[in-house]
Chains A and B, each alone.
Chain A
Amino acid sequence: MIELQHLTKRYGDQVAVHDLSLEVAEGELLVLLGGSGCGKTTTLKMINRLIEPSAGTVRVDGDDVSRLATHELRRRVGYAFQQVGLFPHMTVGENIGITPVLLGWTDDAIRHRVDELLALVELDPETTRDRDPSQLSGGQQQRVGVARALAARPRVMLLDEPFGALDPLTRGRLQDSFIRIRRDLGVTAVFVTHDMVEALRLGDRIAVLHNGRLVQVGTPGALMRQPADDYVRQLLDTPRREARLVDSLLSDMAGRDSG
């Protein structure tokens, strides 16, 4: 369970996150939605103290995180970075296995877990395990980043656009896998995305941020039915607007082809 109470982050005069209060229930997945620069990454990083809040408190499983040793907190919380951040001097396998290594797992257990995770994110363990991260494509690196976040079987996960660089088909399959893992393990997660369909598919609830403030939070259905304002309405309407656009483009083309 994650509780954010009156969380604020200021950089000088600029406010990145303003008085944010949210709760993510045990086993729930909360999607953070909002435009670029609205404070999603900042919020995520304050949860595992990669950024120290200017004000407010964060509780994970009831513990005030400012009272925990940061490294122990972070070993409990899987984090997939927006910029991935794989260590270039380690192999793909070593990257995935790093948190288990820090936790003192046995070599066998780690090797087994790494292969399991590679398979899960649809990378061939045999050919990928010992490669350098630089030898992977952007999308493949992103998948390794998600595997690294999952490695120590965390009960809490923070994912910053984890599937952003993937083609739609791979993304769809990984979303399926992720839904399965979450159900199996009862992971509590905060998931940042720009992709409305992804938000609707994965999110138990969706929180919409705008200029560092929480605009609305609720189930996808509630947001659809009663959007708090125009911004939320437009955001949630995006998939349908795009579908209409596709339809009209296709019928235009059909008209031209036959005409």
Chain B
Amino acid sequence: MSEQLALLPGYLTAHLQLTLLALLCSAALSLPLGIAVTRVRWLEQPVLGLAGVIQTVPSLALLAVMVPLLASMRLRSIGFLPAFIGLTLYAVLPILRNTVTGIAGVDPALREAARGVGMTSRQQLWRVELPLALPVIVAGLRTATVWTVGLATLSTPVGATSLGNYIFSGLQTRNHAAVLVGCVASAGLAMVLDGLVRTAEVGLLTRRRRLVGAAATLTVGLYLYAAVTLAAPLFSNAARPVMIGAKGFTEQYILASVLEQWIGRETGRAAAQMQSLGSTVAFDALAAGDIDIYVDYSGTLWAHLLGRATVGGDRATVLAEVGTFLADQHDIQIVATLGFENAYAVAARAADAETMGLTRISDLIPLGPTLSMGGDFEFFSRPEWVSIRDAYGLALSEQRTMDAALMYEAIAEGAVDLISAYTTDGRISAYDLRVLEDDRGAIPPYDAVVLVSGRLMREWPDVVAALRRLDGAIDLESMRAMNLRVDVEGIDPSTVAAAFIATLGP
């Protein structure tokens, strides 16, 4: 718990920066727009309609979609910017809608009285319509505040640090303390910010200047803090740390820590992690130069980037083709092959395998219609699955998509009969599962490779040299053991990484 709490100031600050800036921009956008809509009536339907459509996009998808969108505009596509834009857009609707409703709801007799006493249309707005609409507008602002604080936890997969880092990594590594800290901190922040808006409102409605002043001072203070902490890196002379990316599962957290600690030990350079990135986000981030290093798997790149999930790729060929492709198309280099494969595999309960005589995937063919299978979020839509299905002509009774961390529980409880396992997963033995042999060679090899950006190659040769020394350093058994210690024993990934580094000799 205490090591989790040590991360709190950093995560909370990042969360606060995102939330406050997104809310500010959203309000700056929606309030004038809402007012404009009440002045130019034909704007109302299209504007509210558009805001409504944005709202119907699932929040996680809205944030994720920002990554390729920004990349296509040659903007920084990973980190603060996509999260900030996504959150800003999301907060538009509640503020906009309530501004329009609030102003439209002002008693027409009072509008007329405002004109009658000689107000210009601007004075009508500021002196009558806005004050009378205030409670409704503030209600929208409060909704937006609470939503934004909550949604900001979803910024983690697009590379923006937030309290979501606790939640995403905590859920994957079964660290309940981390999840709890993340949720409590985010809920607490939502309550504090909501309370601030509420206090300002009560102050305004009851004309208590001091209350308004206090709320305003606190708000301005928070904004100053966010602005200063956000701007600080721009003015600091400290060398930019080497950025290491990690996708959102246990092995990636461990490997990112291994790389970070290894670089620190071998070169003395500071390295930092950007964790829990979406699978394609990590690659895009490297290609865009937002991160410098991450570990991917040859088969994944082969299937997704080269569109080649088919049979016939032996380890060396796949590696060579992927390497050439990355270098030619993306200025990305493979500097080390870690020494283990983390392949997709089909796993069954060992007891079932025994009774039904299952050793190979082809043994499933006659049983297919009686079996159900669980897969992680990606599996059933990945080219590898298509390849397996077609190579074996598999027809299953049911395919269920679920969180990777929960698949093992599901098969152990008998909710599914097969799962898409990863060969390095320590839980294969812990849950007493058996990996079925891919006897028709439908699944490509998945060598873990360290990818680095062209810039890192040119600017930090010492880091590259250090990374090259990791070639072949991690065999399947070591990786499986490390995963097991995190997933089953609940040990922190960085602790496991440190123990591994210690075994690497001077």
Contact = CB atoms under 8 A, between A and B. Distances in A.
A85 interface: yes
Contacts of A85: 109-110, 112-113, 116
B208 interface: no
B120 interface: yes
A79 B116 contact: yes
A81 B109 contact: yes
A9 to B, nearest CB: 15
Nearest to A76: B118
Nearest to A145: B113
B132 A71 contact: no
B128 interface: yes
A251 interface: no
A89 B130 CA distance: 11
16 contacts: A50-B112, A50-B116, A70-B115, A71-B123, A79-B116, A79-B117, A81-B113, A85-B112, A85-B113, A85-B116, A87-B113, A89-B132, A98-B127, A99-B118, A102-B118, A148-B117
Contacts of B132: 87-89
A70 B119 CA distance: 9
Contact of A87 (B115, B118, B120, B128): B128
Most-contacted residue by chain A among B110, B113, B120 (CB, 10 A): B113
B117 A74 contact: yes
Interface of B: 109-110, 112-120, 123, 127-128, 131-132
A87 B107 CA distance: 10
Given A98-B127, A102-B118, A102-B119, 5 more contacts: A71-B115, A74-B116, A85-B110, A87-B113, A89-B131
A48 interface: yes
Given A50-B115, A88-B132, A71 B120 contact: yes
Nearest to B123: A102
A75 interface: yes
Nearest to B131: A89
Contacts of A102: 117-119, 123
A242 interface: no
B15 to A, nearest CB: 36
Contacts of A89: 128, 131-132
Interface residues of A, number: 21
A161 to B, nearest CB: 14
Nearest to A103: B118
A167 interface: no
Nearest to A79: B116
A99 B117 contact: yes
A204 to B, nearest CB: 24
Contacts of B117: 74-75, 79, 98-99, 102, 148
Nearest to B205: A89
Most-contacted residue by chain B among A48, A70, A71, A79 (CB, 10 A): A71
A177 interface: no
Contacts of A54: none
B16 to A, nearest CB: 33
Contacts of A70: 115
Nearest to A74: B118
Contacts of B131: 89
Interface in A65-88: 70-75, 79, 81, 83, 85-88
B107 to A, nearest CB: 8
A146 B128 CA distance: 20
The 6 A-B residue pairs whose C-beta atoms are closest, nearest first, are: A85-B113, A75-B118, A74-B118, A79-B116, A89-B131, A71-B120
B116 A72 contact: no
A98 B118 CA distance: 9
Contacts of A148: 117
Nearest to B132: A89
Contacts of A48: 116
Contacts of A87: 110, 113-114, 128, 132
A72 B131 CA distance: 23
A89 B132 CA distance: 7
A89 B135 CA distance: 12
A81 B115 contact: no
Nearest to B130: A89
Contacts of B118: 71-75, 99, 102-103
Contacts of A86: 113
A102 B115 CA distance: 12
B341 to A, nearest CB: 70
A211 to B, nearest CB: 24
A98 B114 CA distance: 9
